[in-house]
Structure 1
Amino acid sequence: MQAENGKNSNPLVLISSNYKSMTKSEQKVADYINEKTKEVVYLTVTDLAEKIGVGETTVLRFCRKLNYRGYQEFKMAIAQSLVVLDEQIETEVKEGDSIDVMASKITQQNTKTLKDSLEILAFDSIEKSMTAITKANSVHFFGIGSSGITAQDAEHRFMRMGFNVYQSSDAHVMAMKASLVSKQDVVIGISTSGSTKDVVDAIRIAKENNAYVICITNHARSPITQYADVILLAASKESPLQGGAYSSKIAQLHVLDILTKAVEMERKDESFASIKKTAEAVLDKMY
């Protein structure tokens, strides 16, 4: 569970998920820490501010934005994360790696993605989402590109549990469906960047129609989160050239798997009955 003060989360993961919402000065702090992580644990707040060329207040504001009480608490978290950082360096795929070494490294990277996602996932957000979904007349999943495929997976899973569920990955269809929802409906927007315009626009329309909005994203403060009643964070770094990276997909599916299981257990009898019916419906489709 993500602690309110962030102490249980990897600070480097928190930096990544909050980076887009930072000021330019705060981003300079973030960039320096990402580049000189090992050096930071030996620097005072004054030393760090001078090396970066910002004021001490900027460093302190940066720490508080990540939910640390101050620089010392942040620095302690950095020190604790260095072991993880060393492990990450060892898992970087390099030219010349054999297939078995590459496979091992990718497995370790994906395992880290799952662990990081668990660190920043707030259990109370899962509970709020679960409660809203179980009471909803209908559930809608919106996503574009790779996130649209995740939305399809989610639709399939919730359909098997007996929900009135829909997914959309077309910008026009998303907008039209969003215009028809009401306060009895739940809309879940999936966007790794949190900045996919078509998804954000549809989420905004849904919110204007008083739907309960949940977003699954890698960035805690991004355009999509402005309209969300609940934010479910998934941890995975993705550059503009890596759109649809498998690690991002794994993180999204991991969060959805946790949410889906929570919903399934909350309405255990109904879910089991629906899963049984849908399984029996396709028995003659298999050898």
Structure 2
Amino acid sequence: MSNENIKNGNPLIMIHSVYQSLTKAEQKVADVILVDSKESMYYSVTDLAEKANVGETTVIRFCRKLGFRGYQEFKLAIAQNIAGIVDRASEELRETDDFNELAQKITLHNKQVIKETLSLIQESQFQKAVDAIVKARRLYFFGVGSSGMTASDAQYRFMRLGFNAECATDAHIIAMNCALVSEQDVVVGITSSGSTKDLVDLVELAKEKGAFIICITNHAKSPITQYADAILLAAARENPLQGGAFSSKIGQLHVLDILTTIISIQQKEQSQLSLEKTAKAVLDRLF
């Protein structure tokens, strides 16, 4: 059976069909997925490797044996082949829900995201991030796709507080910025999955250049965290069909709101002066 034929079928069925041809390490990966395929959609590549007690390269090799280019494409196929997936925590959305029911369920879900994000907050990680930011020469906020929009929001807020802040969402621009950073700079990588290759590889480059690395992610154990000096966790789980969900952005923005508030309090005079200057700068642009 060719890899293309495997890829086009139901990946769970195909895992069974090729199981005996897998190495023992790859069979461990298959076992984790087959035991709870729905839950596995939310694992990062590092999560799955740990649960299977194998290396990340084994997970990638397993996915490629099934005909997929990598782990993310495999997860997407899993999501597409599990019927009836609607992840709204305990409040499942139904086609029969009226407007008020939909609005209430979504509101409850988003409140839960903020509550869960609060439970993930580690003061020591925030303090390390704050200490690095307040003495940085320049701040760089990087994100790809939906997380790029969060990076743009972050750059805007820190600029209002008087920081020399840059934002990039294009992989080529991120690469050039990372090649030019120094030990005086702070790089903030924003990625829900923690596994966005265009970002992870470039954050590694910035780390090699000596920049202080902060990551904002939903996964404590994901590829980007191995390069981070401070890890700020946001709640909200996405399966591959929900990439860019607003709930993930709410978690990211909540983390940034806490971070900027701490800094504005610690740097009260500078922050207040900068907020006044930037407000006056746009005053004549408003009716």
Scaled by the length of structure 1, the TM-score of the pair is 0.71
Provide Cα deviations, 1:38-79, integer angstroms capped at 9, x if missing partner. Answer: xxxxxxxxxxxxxxxxxxxx89xxxxxxxxxxxxxxxxxxxx
Distance (Å, rounded) in 2 between the aligned partners of 1:232 and 1:27: 28
| Unaligned stretches of 5+ residues in structure 2 | 1-27, 41-50, 53-87
Distance of aligned partners of 1:190 and 1:34 in 2 relative to their CA distance in 1, 3 Å threshold: closer
Deviation at 1:136, TM superposition (A): 0.3
Residue type at the aligned position of 1:266: Q
Distance (Å, rounded) in 1 between the aligned partners of 2:272 and 2:144: 31
Deviation at 1:118, TM superposition (A): 0.6
Distance (Å, rounded) in 2 between the aligned partners of 1:236 and 1:251: 7
> Contact conserved, 1:203 with 1:224, CA < 8 A, in 2?
yes
Deviation at 1:31, TM superposition (A): 3.6
Q: 1:226 matched to which residue of 2? A: 226
Distance of aligned partners of 1:29 and 1:183 in 2 relative to their CA distance in 1, 3 Å threshold: farther
Q: Secondary structure at the match of 1:194?
A: coil
> Contact conserved, 1:162 with 1:275, CA < 8 A, in 2?
yes
Distance (Å, rounded) in 2 between the aligned partners of 1:240 and 1:217: 16
Deviation at 1:121, TM superposition (A): 1.4
Q: 1:192 matched to which residue of 2? A: 192
Deviation at 1:26, TM superposition (A): 9.4
Q: 2:169 matched to which residue of 1? A: 169
> Contact conserved, 1:175 with 1:201, CA < 8 A, in 2?
no
Q: 1:145 matched to which residue of 2? A: 145
List structure 1 runs of 4+ shifted beyond 2 angstroms. Answer: 23-35
Q: How many residues align?
A: 215
Distance (Å, rounded) in 2 between the aligned partners of 1:198 and 1:132: 24
Deviation at 1:198, TM superposition (A): 0.9
Deviation at 1:124, TM superposition (A): 1.2
Residue 158, structure 1, aligned to residue 153, structure 2? no
Q: 1:267 matched to which residue of 2? A: 267
Q: Secondary structure at the match of 2:97?
A: coil
5 Å-filtered alignment, 1:86-97, equals 88-89=89-90, 91-97=91-97
Q: 1:212 matched to which residue of 2? A: 212
Residue type at the aligned position of 1:155: Q
Deviation at 1:248, TM superposition (A): 0.5
Residue 235, structure 1, aligned to residue 235, structure 2? yes
| Unaligned stretches of 5+ residues in structure 1 | 1-22, 36-57, 60-86
Deviation at 1:241, TM superposition (A): 1.1
Deviation at 1:24, TM superposition (A): 3.8
Distance (Å, rounded) in 2 between the aligned partners of 1:27 and 1:241: 21
Scaled by the length of structure 2, the TM-score of the pair is 0.71
Distance (Å, rounded) in 2 between the aligned partners of 1:177 and 1:27: 39
Q: 2:131 matched to which residue of 1? A: 131
Distance (Å, rounded) in 2 between the aligned partners of 1:26 and 1:267: 52
Distance of aligned partners of 1:97 and 1:206 in 2 relative to their CA distance in 1, 3 Å threshold: same
Provide Cα deviations, 1:228-261, integer angstroms capped at 9, x if missing partner. Answer: 0111111111011111000001111011111111
Q: 2:280 matched to which residue of 1? A: 280
